[in-house]
Chains A and B, each alone.
Chain A
Amino acid sequence: MGKQITITIGNEQGTAELLTELAPQLCETIERHLPLTGLLTHAKLVDREVFFQAPFFYDQAENNKFSEKGDLGFWNGRQSLCFFYDDMTPLGNIPTFARVTENLAGLQREAAQVWACPKTRITITRKEG
């Protein structure tokens, strides 16, 4: 198992694996800015995506892929950190840096509520050990 991060949304906590082999520079950028926190808003066109703004740019196209359930990506068009919490059709490719490996169901429950209740807190930290 590679490097891991802890994702907390509302009352749920999950684990994601950083995709350091596929996106080494993006993962390094994310790690450098940890802990990251923000208030979530729900995507308006992608049915199962939440995101929040990050205070930095990432100008490469590393591990640019169609997002899948459980992926975390960075959209530099608006400096947004995106979490694709369930099956959906993404709008396009984005650099992808992590995938949820533990408690996706719990994170899904919290993320789904963001549509009706925006500004739910998300925090991403390094998972030690």
Chain B
Amino acid sequence: MLSETVAALSAARQAIWENEPADIARLRTRKGTRQQGASAILYATAKLGQLTVFLNHLRGVVLQNPVELETVKVITESLLEFYAAQYGGFYQLTDTAHIVRQAKHALAHVQSAEEYVRLIGELALYVGRVDYWVDYEIPWAQFGECFEQNLAHPD
């Protein structure tokens, strides 16, 4: 079960490594307050970045310290469910939500630190990759100029 899930995550990551994931087209359709899409994209990259950072930290902690694995798994499961619900429910990132939940279910089969590091590492690469694709959607240069103009002329 665990090896199959890690292989599935790896295949899913490789499929979106060079090709834009279908989630991005769905995210573009997501409109927030006043029918604008900027806040959905900005919030999506924030939430993807948060989970990527958490996963990398958890992976690093388990890799470099003697930890009580069952507690780490409970904490990780809680985080994965929280973010999966947000990705699918708030931002139309339904494939990403599915992948995160796949990893969450596989956690139950993790029996060693090495297995945890392998599973969470693969998930971190996947979520990080999706975050890169969302980042490409943000017109940072124009956004920065507009922000500065607003600061200079607040009215």
Known contacts: A55-B13, A116-B141. The answer to whether A41 contacts B52 by CB under 8 A is: no
- In the bound complex, what is the Cα–Cα distance between A86 and B19 (angstroms)? 30
Known contacts: A55-B17, A77-B53. The answer to whether A41 contacts B121 by CB under 8 A is: no
B5-61: which have CB < 8 Å to A?
13, 17, 52-53, 56, 59-60
B116-155: which have CB < 8 Å to A?
121, 124-125, 128-129, 132, 135-136, 140-141
Contact pick for A42, options B52, B53, B129, B140, CB 8 Å: B140
Give the size category of B's interface with A: 10 to 19
Known contacts: A55-B13, A78-B56. The answer to whether A39 contacts B128 by CB under 8 A is: no
A59-80: which have CB < 8 Å to B?
59, 76-79
Q: How many residues on A have C-beta within 8 angstroms of the other chain's C-beta atoms?
A: 17
- In the bound complex, what is the Cα–Cα distance between A79 and B125 (angstroms)? 8
Contact pick for A53, options B64, B121, B132, CB 8 Å: B132
CB distance B132 to A76 under 8 Å?
no
Known contacts: A59-B63, A78-B52. The answer to whether A41 contacts B128 by CB under 8 A is: no
- In the bound complex, what is the Cα–Cα distance between A59 and B61 (angstroms)? 11
- In the bound complex, what is the Cα–Cα distance between A19 and B121 (angstroms)? 27
CB distance A119 to B53 under 8 Å?
no
CB distance A118 to B56 under 8 Å?
no
- In the bound complex, what is the Cα–Cα distance between A119 and B135 (angstroms)? 10
CB distance B132 to A41 under 8 Å?
yes
Nearest chain B residue, comparing its CB with the CB of A57: B121
Min CB–CB distance A52 → chain B (angstroms): 8
Contact pick for B125, options A42, A55, A59, A119, CB 8 Å: A55
B56: chain A residues at CB < 8 Å are 76-79
- In the bound complex, what is the Cα–Cα distance between A115 and B135 (angstroms)? 12
CB distance B135 to A118 under 8 Å?
yes
Kindly state whether residue A44 has any CB partner on chain B within 8 Å.
Answer: yes
B125: chain A residues at CB < 8 Å are 53, 55, 79
